[in-house]
A = this chain, B = another copy of it.
Amino acid sequence: MKDLKAYIQDNKDRILNDLFELIRIPSISSKEAHKDDMYKAANWISEYLVKKGADQAEVCDTEGHPVVYGEKIIDPSLPTVIIYGHYDVQPAEPLELWKTPPFEPEIRDGKIYARGADDDKGQMFMHFAAFEYLVNTNQLPCNVKFMIEGEEEIGSPSLGNFLKENKEKLSGDIILVSDTSMLGAETPSITTGLRGLSYCEVHVTGPNRDLHSGLFGGAVANPINVLCEMIGSLIDENGHITVKGFYDDVEELSDEERADMGRAPFDDEAYKNALDVHELAGEKGYTTLERTGIRPTLDVNGIWGGYTDKGAKTVLPSEAHAKISMRLVPHQKSEKITQLFKDHFLSIAPKSVKVEVEFLHGGEGYVSPTDTHAYKAASKAYEQTYGIKPIPYRSGGSIPIISMFEQILETKTILMGFGLESDAIHSPNENYPLSQFLKGFETIPYFYKYFAEK
């Protein structure tokens, strides 16, 4: 690509400033209080796309937060690349653990620190930058459509309808997404699998009011004790999930496929050291990458009940609650697993308490083939900028909409993520190395080039 490295060098500061403007809008999709910020961010992006060369862009209302759609059609007979990204971010709590405010981006030690620095404002912006470069240097080899949503972090509840209602408009040859990680800064990889998700909240109610634990303790079921026992029973001593029927549809990989996966460079010791844990944990008989890549899991994401302030309060609380999510592998259906979980959880509840299971959100997993033109174009693009072929890799994360794209739009997706595991997405001090941002900026134009060479 003509003058690509020079263009990046000359324009990166300005582009980063643009990204920082977007990051400063606290577009937290899960919080009602940030509703206006969602529109603010969507409008910002819509105007930005036009400024960078889109023929047109619009903020499309949905039942939830809006979707930004933009396009540049240079020739309808050419292939069309659809760029998907999301402008919404996770809540920033616990705020006290951030070294600098989450919505005031700062570059430290070569990394951008902010909520959304990686997920997904930072990664999405690499596409805006690549688009700007291709337009400004007259090298755009195909049509481009942008579909930037605001509900990814809450399970994209409105996107399905949006896709259905705009199927024609969203027609294209490939969807390109940067919202995943690479295996390492020196180990380019393309995510070829994502896990599905079933996310529930459970409520355990005991007595109709908080009681004195001395006067009533021992005679009345304590909902926290009960909840703990129920949760404790969900995973057995081999790391297997005990929900009845949970593994029925799990795809078992062949020894060959597992051996292939095992070739990805990965060091348990370094992984443990980075997380400061003495021992890893998980399902017996599987490696770390297998545990996160090809096996389903169950995690409690939050728990609360009783007195949680400083000091000692001798209360036997009326209620206890937990958020429990399961990551699913291909062939496990989110809806079915949610029902199995619900049935199981209610079945293990003792009669001394009332238990409710509330479904919060879910989505299906995805597997991408590696023998397609699009995958090969992506692979060549990485090879161009990194000098080595990227490793196809199954990630533990979930982007439920990827399977929706295939189902509704009938279009495949390529996951060209440039994040690193150390980016602390969803955590305090989320960050994104400048070098990754710039490498993504450099790699994406080559994808367009090779993809257009049909």
Contacts and interface: CB of A to CB of B under 8 A. Distances in A.
Contact of A229 (B153, B231, B305, B350): B231
A210 interface: yes
Contacts of A282: 218-220
Interface in A19-68: 30-32
Contact of A395 (B215, B298, B315, B323): B215
Contact of A90 (B300, B305, B313): B313
A280 B211 contact: no
Nearest to A422: B209
Contacts of A214: 195, 197, 292, 327, 395-398
B206 A315 contact: no
Contacts of A130: none
Interface stretch (A159-167, A369-377, A402-410, A424-432): A424-432
A4 interface: no
Contacts of A360: 311-312
Interface string A292-324: 100111111111111111111111110011110
A192 interface: no
A415 interface: no
B327 A218 contact: yes
A350 B281 contact: yes
A307 B90 CA distance: 11
B218 A155 contact: no
A274 to B, nearest CB: 8
Interface residues of A, number: 103
Interface in A247-300: 271, 275-283, 288, 291-292, 295-300
A349 to B, nearest CB: 11
Contacts of A181: 215
A433 to B, nearest CB: 17
A217 interface: yes
A426 B213 CA distance: 9
A315 B427 contact: yes
Interface of A: 30-32, 90-91, 93-94, 97, 153-155, 181, 195, 197, 199, 206-222, 224-225, 227-235, 271, 275-283, 288, 291-292, 295-317, 320-323, 325, 327, 350-354, 360-361, 395-398, 421, 424-429
25 contacts: A31-B309, A32-B310, A208-B275, A208-B277, A211-B427, A214-B327, A214-B396, A214-B397, A216-B292, A216-B396, A219-B292, A219-B396, A224-B302, A225-B298, A227-B303, A228-B303, A230-B232, A280-B352, A300-B306, A301-B317, A303-B306, A306-B323, A312-B323, A314-B398, A314-B426
